[in-house]
Chain A
Amino acid sequence: MAEITVADRVVSGKYKALNLLSIAKMGIKNGPYDMARDLIRYPWLWELLKVNRLITKLTDGRSGNYRKAISMLIHEVTKEVINLLEGIYFRKDRLVLHEDMVPPEILRAMGLSPWMPEVLGILLPMLEPRAMEPYIDVAENEGVPPDVCSLPKAVIGMTQKNFLPPAIAVVTSNLPCDGGMTSYLYVEKKTNAPVFRLDIPHNFKEARAEKYFAQELRRMIQWLEAHTPGRMDWDRLKSICEERNKMQEYELELWDMVSQRPAPLSAEAVYLAHLWFFNVCSGLKSATKVFKKLVELAKENRDKGVSALPDEKYRALLWNPPTLHAMDLFVWAEKNFGVTCVMDSMTFNRLPFINTSSEESMLIGIGRNIMNGPMARHTRGPIENYFDDMFYIIKHFNVDMLWMAGHIGCKNTQALNTIMREKCREAGVPLLIIDYDLSDTRIVPREGIFSQVEHFMENVMGVHSQMTA
């Protein structure tokens, strides 16, 4: 376990102070009256105020550049959340709700303010593990079957409680799953806003699918121009795409370093960075800067021969979304078993840069990113999409074990667990399937998740916790 120095504490303290400052600035900019009103109107804002707890949680036992990377990352996410909130406060006339599989790059290029309803379902459980449970209950009380994924249920619950900001339009899609797709029936009815739905083919890797989806994106742009004050600015889209490409270059550099044993940075520094900045803030200069900084920190570690974990014993591939309400899973696993997460299924991709030479090429590139987006590229198309990536990562990132975050509401992945088990057995890859629910601690609490890992490490990997030894 890493020794935490005074300098380490100062680093995380600094970013906590910066978070408080950013929040205070937001309050001042919004004005005390409006801020108070919004805190009543959107009670989830209170949960966001707990951001510094996440720094405490995720820096526990981590030191040096690893600690710095994670503290910095959380601070940058905080700043971007505030930017998004400003869309609610100050640009109401341009606020568009968009589902997580809709490219915010286009909305930004059109001068619109994007707000992704799923963002709260992802972010809030990280800050307050039980935050989404009341909303899940609301959805179920509305008659939504309990077996539907808790992320769309949380969106439905928030919609029914009127906790989504009023939007001038809604854009959604048929990704990543049937539950997510159908949940927007509720958003449509409650917001009473016009809705556009993007259609993504099943065999999305075919060239004709890319063309089809590019046409869909073009129709979405035309529709948005007809229903909102947004106007497409192709030059702006070009600079957004170029910025995204730069960010991707940095990310590839980071992955190169992470693929080496031991990894100079890992876990949230890899997956949280991708989850947030590629999906929510892609194309923003601030997002590129975050990856540039991560690369610098990783390089510095690598050059000095310092690894994220002082004693990296095992490297895990995390499959499926991270355990949101047990975000410190890898903090705990690092301390107890020397296991670090070097890559995850939501982050990894093998996509080319967006070709910015024409409108069409940009739409094809953005479309390709969405179709290969988190979860979507594994939950659509043939199972080769799922397993090719899995075993490529295992080999390329020198992975020792596969941890499948077996979110009970993800029927798509649940239905492949046995094939995965058989393929892992054949390849000699130790596999842990963690039973849990993405956003509902009542299904399996944090302790339940940890004890599954503990059993696996002890019984399959044959190691005992360093903490109890």
Chain B
Amino acid sequence: MIGATMDLQKLLDEPLNQLVEDAIEKGMLPVGYACSMVPEVLLSIGKLFPVRLRAPNVAGTEMADVYLSSVICSLSRSLLEFALEGKYSFLKGFVFTASCDHLRRLNDNLRYCEKPEFIDILDIPHKITDEAVQWTIDELRRFAQQLKSHFGVDAGNENVMEAIRRRNILNTLLRRINDLRKSQNPPFSGTQYHRLIMATQVVPPDDAINLASEFLESVTRNAEHPRFRARVMLVGGNLDDPSYTEIIESQGALVVADRYCTGSFPALEPYALEGDPYEILARRVLTITRCPRMMEGFPVRLEYIMNLYREYAVDGIIIESIKFCDTWGVETSALVSRLRERGIPVLRLEREYHQSGEGQLRTRVQAFLESMGK
């Protein structure tokens, strides 16, 4: 088990990891994407495979600050910094969604500075209506056409459905692993799980399935049952660095559930398998991500968190958001007050994309656990 997690961490240390390198050698084409609203299934067709854009261990964002300014979230700045440093030169293209002001401007600046051969931004509605679904279907078909003309990829219905099926295999495995977190003494830590879930987003789909299978086998055979003082749920936007979870857990918390963009919920819900695959993807993009940018979704998002809270027997909720993120910034304020109104212990953390303020984070988590009497 420990060996497995060490391997997973290795996959996360650099954007270009061993499995991506191997895939490129076999002639596969990695495409970077930066938001959970990007239907990565469409990037898993033919020779393409999706790689979630990350900037692990980014040391500073001096060059990106010049372009994006210092008031743009540090995720966007870090990604641009890595792009300007040439750390994504192995990628054959970039895909964004117009999900928030920051990522849109990252897309604009990346186009301007780097002029990638392939870069696309998906225009996804902010609410869910029949017209919005149709809009999204049209948008995904337009995107598929772009993939075809640039990469020669056939994103016809059959191939898309095949990619969906393959994604469901991964989701099924991850859900089985995730279900183990419901037990009184989960067989692995939140950090280990975070590493796994991140690793599956930065390697080719088949490798992701292998990683998840190995992980499941490993935890079934050799459970660790980490000791903990309190079960917590982690809520927020993009959180792709497992060391953040590790610091939280170092104080005695055990992250048993999560609802952040790069995490397990709601991404692991199974894809529908009946009907037009583009409609399946469109509905999923609009409904599954549960991002605060979806204007009418606050009650649903709140209820979703409440359900996880009950289902995973959570003691307290930690909400983290990256500084300067408007959607999560305002949403968090509203969430905190509604959750506290319901008597749920909540800790609100504002953070930078890169790991910083470790001591402060430890102190705040420690105080939070104590405030819950744990």
Give 28 A-B contacts (CB < 8 Å), ordered by A residue.
A142-B333, A143-B332, A143-B337, A143-B348, A145-B326, A145-B330, A147-B324, A172-B295, A182-B327, A183-B330, A185-B334, A197-B126, A202-B104, A216-B131, A380-B98, A383-B108, A383-B111, A409-B71, A411-B105, A414-B68, A414-B71, A415-B67, A415-B69, A415-B105, A416-B109, A418-B69, A419-B67, A419-B112
Q: Which 6 A-B pairs have the closest CB atoms?
A: A143-B333, A202-B98, A415-B105, A182-B330, A178-B326, A145-B329
Cβ contacts under 8 Å, A142 to chain B = 333, 337
Given A415-B108, A415-B109 in contact, is the A143-B336 Cβ separation under 8 Å?
yes
- Judge whether A374 is part of the interface by a CB distance below 8 angstroms: no
Min CB distance A211 to B, Å, is 9
A380 to B72, CA, bound (A): 16
- Judge whether A453 is part of the interface by a CB distance below 8 angstroms: no
CB within 8 Å: A-B pair count: 128
- Judge whether B28 is part of the interface by a CB distance below 8 angstroms: no
Cβ contacts under 8 Å, A412 to chain B = 101, 104-105
A149 to B350, CA, bound (A): 18
Assess whether B101 is in contact with A178, with CB atoms less than 8 Å apart.
Answer: yes
The number of residues on chain B lying at the interface, defined by a beta carbon within 8 Å of a beta carbon of chain A, is: 46
- Judge whether A201 is part of the interface by a CB distance below 8 angstroms: yes
B→A interface (CB under 8 Å): 66-69, 71-72, 98, 100-102, 104-106, 108-109, 111-112, 121, 123, 125-127, 129, 131-132, 135, 138, 292-293, 295-296, 298, 323-324, 326-327, 329-334, 336-337, 348, 350
Assess whether B100 is in contact with A178, with CB atoms less than 8 Å apart.
Answer: yes
The contact of B112 among A189, A380, A383, by CB within 8 Å, is A383
> Which residue of chain A has the shortest Cβ distance to B135 in the bound complex?
A212
Assess whether A174 is in contact with B295, with CB atoms less than 8 Å apart.
Answer: yes
A→B interface (CB under 8 Å): 142-145, 147-149, 172, 174, 177-179, 181-183, 185-186, 189, 197, 199, 201-203, 208, 212, 215-216, 219, 379-380, 382-383, 408-409, 411-412, 414-419
Cβ contacts under 8 Å, B334 to chain A = 185-186, 189
The contact of A148 among B69, B72, B112, B330, by CB within 8 Å, is B330
> Which residue of chain B has the shortest Cβ distance to A379 in the bound complex?
B101
Given A183-B330, A419-B109 in contact, is the A145-B67 Cβ separation under 8 Å?
no
Cβ contacts under 8 Å, A149 to chain B = 326
- Which of B127, B135, B292, B326 has the most chain A CB within a 10 Å cutoff? B326
A411 to B131, CA, bound (A): 30
Supplied contacts A212-B125, A219-B129, A411-B69, 17 more A-B pairs, CB within 8 Å: A142-B337, A145-B323, A148-B329, A172-B295, A174-B126, A178-B100, A181-B327, A202-B98, A203-B123, A208-B138, A383-B112, A411-B324, A412-B104, A412-B105, A414-B72, A418-B66, A419-B67
A201 to B129, CA, bound (A): 13
Min CB distance B71 to A, Å, is 5
Assess whether B326 is in contact with A182, with CB atoms less than 8 Å apart.
Answer: yes
- Which of A172, A409, A412 has the most chain B CB within a 10 Å cutoff? A412
Cβ contacts under 8 Å, A414 to chain B = 68-69, 71-72
Min CB distance B361 to A, Å, is 18
Given A383-B108, A411-B324 in contact, is the A197-B67 Cβ separation under 8 Å?
no
- Which of A144, A182, A201, A409 has the most chain B CB within a 10 Å cutoff? A182
Given A181-B295, A199-B132 in contact, is the A144-B109 Cβ separation under 8 Å?
no
Cβ contacts under 8 Å, A147 to chain B = 71, 323-324, 329
Assess whether A411 is in contact with B326, with CB atoms less than 8 Å apart.
Answer: yes
The contact of B326 among A179, A415, A417, by CB within 8 Å, is A179
A409 to B123, CA, bound (A): 24
Assess whether B126 is in contact with A212, with CB atoms less than 8 Å apart.
Answer: no
A144 to B324, CA, bound (A): 11
The contact of B105 among A148, A202, A416, by CB within 8 Å, is A416
Assess whether A201 is in contact with B68, with CB atoms less than 8 Å apart.
Answer: no
A186 to B336, CA, bound (A): 13
Given A145-B323, A414-B71, A418-B67 in contact, is the A185-B329 Cβ separation under 8 Å?
no
> Which residue of chain B has the shortest Cβ distance to A179 in the bound complex?
B326
Assess whether A417 is in contact with B330, with CB atoms less than 8 Å apart.
Answer: no
